[in-house]
């Protein structure tokens, strides 16, 4: 792959972040992009995403958009961290040794940045990867495994936050947050999606689940309140809440007109494709709970524990507040006749702009 697209140049002109670090990893043919979007509220922090991309421009675009979302995510509760994101774009499937070598070389870059960017897991990376990165990039790594002295995976806290966000959205719609007889469609049964399904089942919700890897449906297929559908059926399947918990880019001018739900509340980052999709959601009367407000639990909880010394109980309490935050965003959107994304962005920017930069 090579990075020569006009699209990438356009993105770099439009991005309002502080610094972009790029590196080509010759041994694996992978591109590494580290977008340091904002350090206004604290050191830029965000996950490391490692996956295949069709071309480096797509990976760069993802990095820039995701880094901005991290800034808004931390700014929303006025948490003292800035936003950033790392994207490692591999040209194809790597062997375990190639992957380890790539991560170690990436870790040495993080060390060179010396605190300009702190990272944790994201799509394609895990706490075990954070353990490895920590061997070369301490102390700039979050969410190591508990055995290696970290706070562990961020996915449980992320799922807990999504759960509270779903209940708050239903309360906004129906005046009650009861999940009994509500149908939630969870797309993506990775570590976040699985835990979310368990939490929803425990409160008697009906579930529709799907995953591109049928093996992930495993434990749920026999459950009487779970229906599995194919990945292609997601858009158009009737449900109360559609919860995208896999990759982003699911809400577009093509999919939104076909949605058959009352609300979208999910863990995936960057669910909207362009501003148009959000306006279409609003026109259709579908409530969209902004992704960065919904999926904040893991980043907030883990960073709070590891950087601010929170106890796990304190972190759990903070994650519970995701529900109240969503309630506030939806109320502001209604009162001001703006979209929920505009409302959430306004609150986050208010916190960012009331802080004096150093």
Give me the residues that bind ligand PHE (CB under 6 A), please. Answer: 45-47, 120-122, 142-143, 154, 269, 295, 298-299, 302-303
Nearer to ligand PHE, 163 or 220 (CB): 163
Nearer to ligand PHE, 130 or 184 (CB): 130
Nearer to ligand PHE, 122 or 278 (CB): 122
Which residue in the list 40, 73, 85, 206 is annotated as catalytic? Answer: 85
Verify cis geometry, omega within 30 degrees of 0, for the bond prior to 139.
yes
* CA distance linking residue 340 with residue 282, whole number of Å: 9
The CB-nearest residue to ligand PHE is 120
Beta-strand relationship, 117-121 and 82-90: unpaired
Residue 88: C-alpha distances to residues 21, 297, 325 (Å):
12, 23, 32
Closest approach, Cβ 240 to ligand PHE, in A, equals 25
- Residue 94 phi/psi, 5-degree rounding, is -100, 150
Task: Tell me whether residue 206 is one of the annotated catalytic residues.
Answer: no
Closest approach, Cβ 217 to ligand PHE, in A, equals 23
Closest approach, Cβ 183 to ligand PHE, in A, equals 27
Closest approach, Cβ 158 to ligand PHE, in A, equals 7
Nearer to ligand PHE, 121 or 340 (CB): 121
Residue 21 Ramachandran class (φ > 0 left, ψ -120 to 50 alpha, else beta): beta
Beta-strand relationship, 206-210 and 30-38: unpaired
Residue 76: C-alpha distances to residues 50, 133, 168, 217, 356 (Å):
26, 28, 17, 34, 16
Active site amino acids:
85
């Amino acid at each position: 792959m090579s990075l020569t697209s006009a699209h990438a140049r356009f993105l770099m002109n439009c991005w309002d972040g502080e610094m972009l670090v790029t590196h080509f990893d010759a041994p694996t043919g992978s591109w590494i992009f580290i977008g340091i979007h904002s350090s206004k509220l604290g050191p830029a922090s965000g996950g490391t995403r490692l996956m295949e991309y069709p071309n480096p421009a797509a990976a760069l675009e993802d990095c820039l958009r995701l880094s901005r979302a991290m800034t808004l995510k931390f700014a929303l509760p006025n948490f003292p961290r800035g936003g950033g994101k790392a994207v490692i774009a591999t040209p194809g499937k790597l062997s375990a040794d190639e992957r380890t070598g790539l991560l170690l070389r990436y870790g040495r870059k993080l060390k060179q940045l010396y605190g300009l960017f702190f990272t944790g897991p994201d799509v394609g990376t895990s706490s075990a990867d954070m353990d490895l990165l920590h061997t070369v990039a301490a102390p700039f790594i979050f969410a190591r495994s508990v055995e290696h002295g970290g706070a562990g995976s961020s996915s449980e806290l992320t799922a807990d936050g999504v759960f509270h966000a779903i209940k708050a959205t239903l309360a906004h719609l129906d005046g009650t947050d009861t999940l009994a007889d509500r149908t939630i469609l969870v797309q993506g049964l990775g570590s976040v999606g699985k835990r979310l399904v368990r939490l929803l089942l425990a409160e008697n919700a009906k579930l529709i689940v799907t995953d591109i890897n049928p093996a992930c449906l495993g434990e749920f297929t026999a459950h009487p309140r779970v229906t599995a559908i194919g990945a292609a059926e997601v858009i158009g399947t009737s449900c109360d809440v559609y919860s995208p918990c896999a990759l982003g880019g699911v809400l577009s001018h093509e999919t939104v007109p076909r949605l058959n739900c009352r609300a979208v509340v999910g863990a995936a980052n960057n669910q909207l494709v362009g501003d148009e999709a959000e306006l279409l959601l609003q026109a259709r009367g579908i409530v969209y709970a902004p992704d960065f407000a919904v999926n904040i639990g893991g980043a907030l909880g883990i960073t709070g524990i590891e950087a601010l010394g929170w106890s796990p109980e304190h972190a759990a309490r903070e994650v519970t507040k995701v529900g109240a935050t969503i309630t506030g965003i939806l109320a502001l959107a209604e009162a001001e006749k703006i979209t929920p994304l505009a409302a959430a962005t306004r609150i986050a920017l208010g916190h960012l702009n009331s802080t004096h930069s150093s």
